[in-house]
Amino acid sequence: MKQGARLRAKSVDERQRHPTEVRRRLVIESARDLIADKGLFNVQIRDISRVCGVSPGTITYHFRSLDEVLWEVIKAETVEFNELLREAVANGETDKSTKLLSLLEGMFRSDPNTRRHWLLRMDLWSAATRDDAYGEWMNTHYEAWWQVLRDIIDAGVEDGEFKCPDPWAFAVSISSTVDGLAIQCYSRSARISVVQARHHLLCHVRAGLGIVDAD
């Protein structure tokens, strides 16, 4: 620097600059909340930039397009959901009935994160009906989800806790029941409460697997 040269004041972006991955994560997290509130295809770059407190140019610097932001939101939500499933299955619980029922019970909560998850899932279902890429991503998610359920059911049948002639078919049945109840209790102006949805799900699973313990 030349002697006597004045130091240039740093811009707001420079003062608040974060590593690329941190910035991308900030954008994804902000977009997740917006999508849950407004819908997957009703969010624009300017909406995300306003919530993040950065310029639209900063977002397009870190993401090639709005589509990439939307995809990263879907991937992040799916990865986190699958991680929760793996943690639930990997815990030390040896009672398969308790493990399965606790896992499913945890899918119906009244906290904001659970509601956000289901609203994002509903948008993914809608996108998957019209877009092959979203459809394939959804298929991958469900195959992992079915396998988790089947593994628990298989182990329960082997231990004599469950009675189930076709664990794979019942895993799909559980998944379908979960989705149907989620639509009915997390949609706007829902007529079924989260507590009621959870009760219906656990009754379905107990009846299908011959679990006799009380609610």
Per-residue pLDDT of 106-145, as tens digits, reads: 899 998 888 888 988 888 888 889 889 889 988 988 998 9
Percentage of the chain lying above the pLDDT 90 cut: 34
- Note the pLDDT of residue 66: 84
Q: Is the pLDDT of residue 195 over 50?
A: yes
Q: Is the pLDDT of residue 49 over 60?
A: yes
**pLDDT band per the 50, 70, 90 thresholds, residue 93:** low
Tell me the CB-side half-sphere exposure of residue 153, using CA atoms within 13 A.
24
- Note the pLDDT of residue 91: 66
Q: Is the pLDDT of residue 3 over 70?
A: no
Mean confidence (pLDDT) of the chain: 84
Residue 93: both structure tokens together: 């619980």
Residue 168 and residue 157: Cα distance in Å, rounded? 12
- pLDDT tens digits, one per residue of 53-82: 888 888 888 888 888 888 888 888 878 877
As a three-state string, the secondary structure of the chain is CCCCCCCCCCCHHHHCCCCHHHHHHHHHHHHHHHHHHHCCCCCCHHHHHHHHCCCHHHHHHHCCCHHHHHHHHHHHHHHHHHHHHHHHHHCCCCCHHHHHHHHHHCCCCCCHHHHHHHHHHHHHHHHHCCCHHHHHHHHHHHHHHHHHHHHHHHHHHHHCCCCCCCHHHHHHHHHHHHHHHHHHHHCCCCCCCHHHHHHHHHHHHHHHHCCCCCC
- Note the pLDDT of residue 151: 92
Residue 141 and residue 131: Cα distance in Å, rounded? 16
- Note the pLDDT of residue 83: 78
Residue 56 and residue 61: Cα distance in Å, rounded? 9
**pLDDT band per the 50, 70, 90 thresholds, residue 160:** very high
Range from 4-8, 95-99, 103-107, 175-179 carrying the lowest mean pLDDT: 4-8
Residue 31 and residue 73: Cα distance in Å, rounded? 7
Range from 2-6, 46-50, 73-77 carrying the lowest mean pLDDT: 2-6
Q: Is the pLDDT of residue 85 over 50?
A: yes
Phi and psi, residue 26, nearest 5°: -60, -45
Phi and psi, residue 171, nearest 5°: -60, -45
- pLDDT tens digits, one per residue of 161-171: 999 999 999 99
- Note the pLDDT of residue 15: 40
| Mean per-residue pLDDT, 78-107 | 80
